[in-house]
Structure 1
């Protein structure tokens, strides 16, 4: 099953990231932001009709104050970085958790006391390390499933699905606990 895992990981294109170099150094209109994301993440879509980013999504992020206000209907490189971070978080966290996580960051952006670039670069670098860790952990899970008592390929796949979901739940719960800590810290500031 390890060979199948290697093929699966290759197919998933997990190393696809929107790097700082991919983000133009000038402000973009919404359609340009959408096109940038569609072009970069096209290979990561599960189905061909899946949308990476839509006008409705961006408008909802804006109305929900997930990123600081835009100017003249244009999105700065920092907006694009924030939209990418939101894109990353939205599959796991509730919108209110994303807002809580990014609220202070957005405030600092509006006050011009934060350069988002270094944080974004650290995230990109950490993503690479996380992918390496995930790949090794996934291979270890496959070996454990293969060494188990089940001789049925389908049942082994079900067991592997359950293991991935179980690990995902652990990480989600840890992320939610950190969001709660952020909320507590911000509440104490007020």
Structure 2
């Protein structure tokens, strides 16, 4: 627990696919996989983990999480969507991701969105989230230490970590549930528009 900030810094939380990382030419599947592996390598929990595979990409296409591919090549917009999917799949079901991205996919098809601008906003928010997390973690460490000291546990080292893990998982679940509620509201909004 003493090295919490060091641990956080080692996780590659700032890792993202920036607009500068995305080439202005369409890429074949193997090139897309290599781009994601190179850019998200620092965020892997284990080195053998795969960031993106052919099966994943095919499932995204078949599941309509991304708009149709042309000539077996993936555009800049496809790569941005896959980056969003990569982040969303850590907390949401594939169906929830499909609902979340369906309007964006339609706007891309209709040429009604400046996706670069939207993605830039997303990257700015995620950067701020990492800063906020680091500040919040300092407070959580203090809170856990206080709880353990008040409980007067003799072997507090392991208990501190278990309490911290439990607290973090609970917070993660709270955020996930709020996100799922927002997804549900998207479904209600779409159904309401269809009925009109």
TM-score, with structure 2 as normaliser: 0.94
Superposition deviation, residue 44 in structure 1: 1.3
Q: Distance in 2 between matches of 1:53 and 1:71?
A: 20
Superposition deviation, residue 139 in structure 1: 1.1
Q: Which residue of 2 aligns with 1:26?
A: 25
Alignment of 1:1-190 (within 5 A): 1=1, 3-148=2-147, 149=149, 150-151=153-154, 152-190=156-194
Q: Distance in 1 between matches of 2:8 and 2:40?
A: 15
Q: Distance in 1 between matches of 2:104 and 2:190?
A: 11
Tell me, which stretches of 5 or more residues in structure 2 are unaligned? Answer: none
The 3-state SS of whatever aligns with 2:3 is helix
The 3-state SS of whatever aligns with 2:48 is coil
Q: Which has the larger radius of gyration?
A: 2
The 3-state SS of whatever aligns with 1:104 is helix
Superposition deviation, residue 186 in structure 1: 1.0
State the number of aligned residues: 189
Write out per-residue CA displacement over residues 92-145 of structure 1, whole angstroms, 9 at most, x where no aligned residue: 000000000111111111111112111100000000111111111111100111
